[in-house]
Amino acid sequence: MILNVKRVALALSFAAVTTLAGAAEKPRIEVEEWTMPNGMKWLLYERHDAPTIATGWVAHVGSANERPGITGISHFFEHMMFKGTNTVGTKDIAQDLRLIDEQEQVRTEMRALMAEMRARLRRGEIASMDDPAAKTPRYKELEAKFDELVLKQRDNIIKDQLDQIYTKNGGEFLNASTNEDLTVYFMRLPKNKLELWAWLESDRLLNPVFREFYSERDVVFEERRLRTESTPLGKFDEAFNSIFWDAHPYSWPVVGWASDIPMYTLQQAKDYFTTYYAPNNITGVLVGDFKTAEVKPLLERYFGRLKRGPAAPEVVTLEPKSLGEKRFYAEAETSPTVRVWWQGVSVVHKDFAVLDLLTDVLSGRTGRLTKALVLDRKIANNASAFVNGQKYGGFVGAEVTVKDGQEPSAAEAALHEVIDKLKTEVVPDQELQKVKNQAKANAYRRLSSATFIMFQLLQNDGAGDWKKINTQAEEVDAVTAADIQRAAKQYFTRETRAVGIFTRKAAESGAASQEDPDIAALPAEAQPMAKQAVARIKDEKDPAKLKEQLEQMRGQAGQVKAEAKPIFDLILKRAEERLAEIEKEGKN
Amino acid sequence: MNSKRIVAVALPLVVAASLASAQAVPDNPEKLTFAPLTYNPPSAKDHRVVLKNGMVAYLAEDRALPLVNIQVMVRAGVWLEPPGKEGLARLTGSQMRAGGTKSLTAEQFDERADFLAAQIGSSMGDTSAGASLNCLADNLDDSLKLFIEMLREPGFQEDRFKLAKDQILQDMKKRNDESEAIEGREFQVLVYGDDHLGNRFSTEASINALTRADLSAFHEMYYYPANMILAVSGAFTKADMVKKLEGAFVNWPSPKRVVAPVPTVIKTASPGFYRINKDVNQGRVSVGLPSVVRTSPDVYALEVMNEILGGSGFTARITRTVRSNEGLAYSAGSGIGFGTYFPGRFRASYQSKSSTVAYALQLVFEEIKKMRETRVTDEELLTIKNNIIQTFPSNFESKAQQAGTFAADEYTKRDPLYWSTYRDRIQAVTAADVQRVARQYLVPEKMITLVVGNQAEIAKGDGKHDVTIEKIAGGKVTELPLRDPMTMKRK
């Protein structure tokens, strides 16, 4: 039975309620799905707890729709949708368009020069595309000319007017986000401002102007630096993801490869808009304090103006079944970690719920991974598994933080042992019921805020089926122990997995980048191992342990092969130095 | 082709067209008019209940979902840690949840909670501690029993305590991994001082020295009904819930103890430029100084001022200049906080590639100076005041939020008129007020500027603008070596 959660609750609050029957019996909400003649779909859900409406719309396009050379353009395009329209963001649209045109002419010539720079880079004549020496006088001249045009245009622009209008009218968290499958635009506003929202959102879908195109590329590049390049794991996560997917466009980062971001062109953005932002490729969502019958004519009046476009091209590439295990070793500024991803399924696949529940059996305080790796064998400090399901595919992931002093290889072996048990023995009833109870309670928890419901509807619709918000709990409840065993056998295979082993990179000193000259003198292939060993010695605080290690090493000194002698001597020397240091500290 | 289908598709279009002509879309959003919207915030009084044992609870019924949510605020926190026992408060908070109870081993407790699908938590922060239960209404009795057992008789099981220490010591090594973590930590030290309660870092030595008995004693000292306030929301009737809570806390005596107050003194570092080297390709910058406590009459003008300067997203001046105009950062803006016990802080921040860190800093300082020298425009003032006033209902969006806010207000003894007068006080702020508080509080010569990043690259600049951080930040230049993550001594 489908209940409109809120309506039932209200009805009962008038009666004398002594039982808990007022609450919804199932974690379901009654959403009205409505498609306009131009193909734009709407998901409308009334909820009257606060005088606000959570609004959003999803364009069914993401980085999976890109190709090498324009990676990240979906995300960049999301930024452009905030730059205004024929009406919003400008004092004089004719002047604005003229200046955009002039800027484009300069940029066309600059792009031709950049093609020459890339040729020089291939020949090794310049170190990188940012190499100042790479810029020819003509290029610099064009840069200056372009900057001038930008300043000229600035006088004619009303900066970020879209945001200003919403801010002035009580709008909150106006923002957008992009992933592999979808681009969502969202905000919350007072319920009496819905027409303003309809005006502004339909306007940016009807008459967008991509002004400030080139400075926004710089902003996106800073976003890439912020999230990917200057964080301890950003670059590694990106690289691991790209080795996991062989053929599918999920292999490239949503933000785009560094080389591609500075190369987007205005024409590409325009083509992108025409191809993917037609109303028949968009779903709008409203959750909050409105009356469905009243908002439909309003939506029709504003969004009905959009012209249906040709169907967006489909993503046809299918990820082939992996033929062999992939392994990725990296030194990073992080705790030692084992990461395993197995090829999985799309979020709309019939096995998704099985994999979802299977990873619940593995995770959490009482999950099997915690019990085996953290509590019993004390080999890890944290261990969990999760399922990732997207529109075109997915994976099952596990992540283990290896306890200091333990070997990642041992943690990895222990992880596989836990996984293998799922193949040989069925999950006991009590354990299965436990994860089902949690899944059901969580399904209710997901419905606790209007804003969160709005996000889930956008997300689910973008990934292939908005109804998942209602069916997910039942699908999970129907999973049997036999299903889990079958899925474990089917999905957890060696050839379909990628394994990442992260070890801690030697500590960096704050004063300057500290290269150990002794390590630098070693052959390149021996350096990582030496660095690791030296770092471990530096971390050692226990003199007794160091002494023991030294004894052992001295005992082995005679058997060391000639090519290993330099590294052996270095480790011995560092261990002696460290011991002296600790003993001195002890005396102080 | 099926002609009926064509008609079916065409018909709604005709309807749409007639609607459109009846009520045309205006050519500019300014021509739209809106129905007035009034909103009265819920009042704390209507939700407050005093239990038989004297405990205060705020109850908010919400029957939409079959869930119950209980939050307990406890007057305890880092400020009560004895010296040498850094880490005790947080560990006590987390181990209450992780270490079982007197009658249940950690394994038994966790299995029961998980089977009930009850989310149970416990934690201690700088100036308050808390615990929470979120469970299905149909197993409230069983879940509440577990929850109360955790609050009253935590087991602090030895092997879980050892595991927690291992986890903390491993995470300690990560203290210098993220430039963001370094920036956040060190800026806090510069603004509030080494001894401040937010900056008493646990070390390898302090964690290793903690014993199970320390945790047990710390719990014993502060967890009793008279030292707690409850916030309860969800699917229940008020009378029924009061009975359950009274049953749950009955026979739990409260000693007559006074908890030491949170210290109010801060020691701010001298103004100037502080730099920390970290080999990343983007510099992180924080500029700021202490603000005021929340009882200051200036907080409303300061809030409006900060929104205009850097707190309102794309509408804010710093964001517009640094991000939107120049493309120098993805995130650039400012925030201001007002303290309950000691002054909050003002902080402008951004992250930019090494070469443009200095130029962006110049833009930020120029915006700060402009706030002081010129009055904000009527349009800016109106935009921000409207936004603060019209988004006011969001403070009470859910019943859980309402009950939580009321409990926190009682815990911190907030002025009971705060919420009912808030919008009028914002409305009363003038452009002159904004300028006055900018001049009084945003004094460039008093600002602390912290830059974390590759200092050699940052110093080179962008080759276009003749600007150095030293010149803009003013004051002394201080090199801050990274701390040893395990001892927190500077290397």
Question: What is the spatial distance between Cα A311 and Cα B251, in angstroms, rounded to a whole number?
Answer: 69
The answer on pLDDT for A569 being more than 80 is no
Residue A568: its pLDDT value, please? 75
Q: Is the pLDDT of residue A531 over 80?
A: no
The Cα–Cα gap between A11 and A16 comes to: 11
Half-sphere exposure of B255 (CA within 13 A, CB side): 7
Is residue B232 within 8 Å of residue B245, measured between CB atoms?
Answer: yes
B contact residues 9-28, partner A, Cβ 8 Å cutoff: 9, 12-13, 16, 19-20, 23, 25-28
Round to whole Å and give the CA distance between A211 and A157: 9
**Model confidence at B322: pLDDT above 50:** yes
ipTM: 0.91
Q: How far apart are CA B69 and CA A394, in angstroms?
A: 34
Higher pLDDT, A324 or A22: A324
Q: What is the mean pLDDT of residues B308-324?
A: 95
Confidence of residue A525 (pLDDT cuts 50, 70, 90): low
- Inter-chain CB proximity B491 and A381 less than 8 Å: no
| Contact (CB<8Å) B397/A37 | no
Q: Is the pLDDT of residue A524 over 90?
A: no
Residues of chain A above pLDDT 90, percent: 79
Q: Kindly report the CA angle at A219 between A213 and A225, in degrees rounded to 5?
A: 140
Confidence of residue A517 (pLDDT cuts 50, 70, 90): low
In this predicted structure, the answer to whether residue B243 has a pLDDT above a threshold of 60 is yes
Tokens of A512: 């300057």
Nearest CB partner across the interface for B281, out of A5, A170, A225: A225
| Residue B255, min C-alpha distance to chain A (Å) | 34
Sheet with A32-35, side-by-side order of all strands: A32-35, A41-46, A282-288, A52-59, A183-190, A172-178
Average pLDDT over residues B365-375: 98
Q: What is the predicted pLDDT for the residue at A578?
A: 75
Residue A2 tokens read as 């489908």
Non-local (6+) Cβ contacts of B287 within 8 A are B347, B348, B349, B361, B364, B365, B368, B447, B448, B449, B450, B473
Residue A572 pLDDT class (50, 70, 90 cuts): confident
How large is the angle between the packed helices B212-222 and B88-98, nearest 10 degrees? Answer: 90
Planar angle of CA A483, A488, A491, nearest 5 degrees: 115
Rounded to the nearest 5°, which phi and psi values hold at B36? -65, 155
What are A134-178's pLDDT values in tens digits?
A: 899 999 999 999 999 999 999 999 999 999 999 999 999 999 999
In the predicted structure, residue A179 carries a pLDDT above the cut 70 = yes
B134 vs A586, higher pLDDT: B134
More confident residue, A511 or B411: B411
pLDDT in tens, A206-260: 999 999 999 899 999 999 999 999 999 999 999 999 999 999 999 999 999 999 9
Looking at residue A19, the DSSP 8-state letter turns out to be S
| A364 to chain B: closest CA residue | B114
Residue-level pLDDT at A528: 60
Backbone angles phi, psi at B237, to 5 degrees: -100, 150
pLDDT of residue A527: 65
Distance CA B205, CA B86 (A): 9
Task: Please give the pLDDT value at position A348.
Answer: 96
Give residues 22 to 61 of B whose Cβ lies within 8 Å of A: 23, 25-29, 32, 34-37, 39
pLDDT at B482 over 50: yes
* Mean pLDDT rounded to a whole number for chain B: 94
pLDDT of residue A516: 62
Of the pLDDT bands very low, low, confident and very high (cuts 50, 70, 90), residue A585 is low
> What number is the average pLDDT over the span B202-226?
97
DSSP string, A37-69: TTS-EEEEEE--SSSEEEEEEEES--GGG--TT
Under the banding of pLDDT at 50, 70 and 90, the label for residue A542 is: confident
The region, left, alpha or beta by phi > 0 then psi within -120 to 50, assigned to residue A514 is beta
Q: Is the pTM of this model over 0.90?
A: no
Residue A511 pLDDT greater than 50, yes or no: no
Task: Tell me: pLDDT of A12 over 70.
Answer: no
Return the SS3 of A384.
strand
Please compute the mean of the pLDDT values over residues A275-281 and round it to a whole number.
98
β-bridge mates for residue B347, sequence order: B288, B335
Six token digits for residue A457: 């509807």
In angstroms, the Cα distances linking A536 to A374, A545, A582 are 22, 12, 14
| Closest by Cβ to B235, choosing from A20, A174, A378 | A20
Token pair in block for residue B61: 């019924």
Q: Percent of chain B having pLDDT more than 70?
A: 96
One-letter amino acid of B60 = A
CA distance A302 to chain B (A): 7
Closest approach of B391 to chain A, Cα-based (Å)? 5
Residues composing chain A: 588
Among A291-295, A379-383, B22-26, B112-116, the range scoring the smallest mean pLDDT is B22-26
